[in-house]
Each structure stands twice: as structure tokens, then as C-alpha cells.
Amino acid sequence: MKNNQYINEYKKTQQSSNAVTSSHEIVRALMKELVNSMQKIVLDIQDQRKKKQNQYLVDKALEEKNVRYRSKNLSKSLSIIYGLQTSLDFDKALEIANNLFQLYEYCRHEIIKGFSQKIEDGIVKAINIIKQIMEGWEEIPSLEK
């Protein structure tokens, strides 16, 4: 790589690190992505129900692709919840951290149950909980602003 290429790569890295300026923004971004993934799971469950009701004949290759897509949203949601749980600071705010951990754990259980049983009600409740937590994070002013 030539010097100009190194400089350009460094600038790209610097720009991407500036895109998220605080830990609060990271949490907000994770929560938005979590809600997005959970909503995709709900839509997929509803879509599966419609297909089953209409007795569509589905090609095996297409069905395998759909299973991989559904699993991707499940994995993404569970990974984000795990990340949020492990980032809690129990030393600074034990009660808040415990409460958030329990809420995240409830959401995790509802996602798994809803995904495995193909029932979206619990996932919708979990989405609403995450949205309420997000609203709380939105009210916290960013330290860098």
C-alpha cells in the first residue's frame, strides 16, 4: 500500500469512529437495531401464518433460505440483548442495572418463545419494553453535545 492509501484508510477509520460519539449513542443505536430485528421476526411469523392459511406449496430451497433469514434475525436480536446485558454497570447503579437486566432477560425469553412457537404477541410486548427503555435513553443528554 502506498502512503496515500494508508492516509485514506486512516481517514475512513477516523470518520467511522466519529459517527458514534458517546456510549449513550452506542446504546441507542443497539436498541434501534434490536427493535428492527424483533419487528422482522414478528413480520416473518405473520407471513408464515398467511402462507400456512393459504396452503402455499413452497419450494424446499426457498424454505431453507427463509429459515436462514429467520434465524439471522433471531441471532441478531439475542446477540444485541446479550451485549446490552453485559454492558450494564452493576457497580455504579446496582438497582437500575438489576432492573434493566431483568427486563432484557424477559425480552430474550419472549423472543425465543415467540420464535419457536411462531406466536408474535410476546415479541410485540418485548418490542414495547425496549421502546420504553429507548425513550429513557433518548432523554439522557449526550456528554459530548
Average pLDDT, the chain: 80
Q: Domains (ranges, CATH) in the chain?
A: 22-139 (1.20.120.340)
**pLDDT per residue as tens digits for the range 44-63:** 888 877 766 555 555 665 56
As a whole number of angstroms, the distance between CA 44 and CA 84 comes to 24
CA distances from 9 to 19, 97, 108 (A): 16, 38, 38
Low-confidence winner among 81-85, 101-105, 112-116, 137-141 (lowest mean pLDDT)? 137-141
pLDDT of residue 140: 77
Q: What is the C-alpha separation between 14 and 98, in angstroms, rounded? A: 35
Cβ neighbours around 113 below 10 Å, total? 14
pLDDT of residue 142: 52
Select the more confidently predicted residue: 140 or 5.
140
Query: What is the rounded CA–CA span in Å between residue 97 and residue 90?
Result: 5
